[in-house]
Structure 1
Amino acid sequence: MEAWMQQLLTALALPEYGLSTVFVVAFVSATLLPLGSEPAVFGLIKLNPHLFWPAILVATAGNTLGGVVTWWMGLGAHRAVDQWRDSPTHLRALDWLRRIGPRACFLSFLPVIGDPLCAVAGWLKMPLLPCTAWMAAGKFARYVVMTVALLQVWPDKLSLATLFVA
């Protein structure tokens, strides 16, 4: 079983590309395309434990920039959403987003609703800079929590103590 896991992690990490692959996968996964970047981040870190913080930061940057692209897509999609403008669900969601403001973009790390949330924030013309900061905070927290949790399950070469004491 250990050999199978090592082969899977090697394939997911794409070691010949490393951090650039993590950036691209994280960027694409933050758009409306259904793709998760966590396996690539975890695989790279598992094979290269010294890249824990660089991988987390590169994934956060890529995922945040993907969220910004989604924000811009939402800004440009104003006409497409007009057809649902009067539905009760749409009105409740918009009311909630208007009350919360850019802080709602912290939730951009959530599966299913996170990426559309960025698009709706752009559609509502919420300020890009605060939205980007909240997206980055949420995505950074997700990558740290997810990777640390996965390292608890498969602790092989890396001790968590070495990640936070350097």
Structure 2
Amino acid sequence: MPVTTVTLQLVTLFAAAFGAATILPFQSEVVFVGLQLAGQIGIGWLILVASIGNVLGAVVNYVLGRGIERFRHRHWFPASEAQLDRAQRWYGRWGVWTLLLSWAPFGDAFTVVAGMMRTPVWLFVLLVTLAKTGRYAALAWATAAASG
């Protein structure tokens, strides 16, 4: 069965969205907007595939957060003790609602902290899905409005 151009485009979007949700420096918005403007794939499919990829990337962060505490005092650990304490205090104050900001550039940190704080998986997935799907829906709307 031959792989179609649309299939490759959707796989590329999924990979970009997945990578963008992890601690890797990816951006999925450019891929999303480019595919939307190309007009070969329905907007519902774009939002669905990007959202699934982005949520699964956030789940990777959550899993990393669950196991990261044991490495906290290692010299190579990517966050200082003060940064980690600040993130945990912020999460402790605002709780799971910070996950509604998981779509933002700094939101990946919240998904890691959610794992560290042992947020229930079902609640994590629900809030992150709302946030990330909402972001892609807003991006699709803005792209459609700007392109006429």
- Structure 1-normalised TM-score? 0.74
Structure with larger RCO (C-alpha < 8 A, sep 6+): 2
What residue number does 1:159 align with? Answer: none
8 Å Cα contact 2:62-2:114 kept in structure 1: yes
What residue number does 2:35 align with? Answer: 44
CA distance in 1, matches of 2:124, 2:112: 11
Percent identical: 32
- Which structure 2 residues correspond to residues 33-72 of structure 1 after superposition, within 5 A? 33-48=24-39, 50-72=41-63
Q: CA deviation at 1:90?
A: 4.2
Q: CA deviation at 1:50?
A: 5.0
CA distance in 1, matches of 2:28, 2:21: 9
For structure 1, which segment, 54-63 or 92-101, has the greater mean C-alpha deviation from structure 2 after superposition? Answer: 92-101
Does 2:125 match 1:132?
yes
Does 2:99 match 1:105?
yes
Please tell me the residue identity of whatever aligns with 2:23.
L
For the structure 1 residues 18 and 138, does the alpha-carbon distance in structure 2 shift closer, same or farther, using more than 3 Å as the test? same
Structure 2 residue matching 1:35: 3-state secondary structure:
coil
Instruction: For structure 1, list consecutive stretches of 5 or more residues without a partner in the other structure.
Output: 1-13, 156-166
What residue number does 1:117 align with? Answer: 110
Q: CA deviation at 1:98?
A: 2.0
Does 2:139 match 1:146?
yes
CA distance in 2, matches of 1:64, 1:25: 12
Count the aligned residue pairs: 139
CA distance in 1, matches of 2:16, 2:35: 12
Structure 2 residue matching 1:79: 3-state secondary structure:
helix
8 Å Cα contact 2:47-2:137 kept in structure 1: yes
8 Å Cα contact 2:21-2:55 kept in structure 1: yes
Does 2:90 match 1:96?
yes
Please tell me the residue identity of whatever aligns with 1:94.
Q
What residue number does 2:77 align with? Answer: none
Structure 1 runs of 4+ with >6 Å offset: none
Q: CA deviation at 1:105?
A: 1.1
CA distance in 2, matches of 1:80, 1:130: 26
CA distance in 2, matches of 1:91, 1:31: 21
For structure 1, which segment, 30-39 or 143-152, has the greater mean C-alpha deviation from structure 2 after superposition? Answer: 143-152
CA distance in 2, matches of 1:36, 1:29: 5
* Alignment RMSD (CA, Å): 2.0
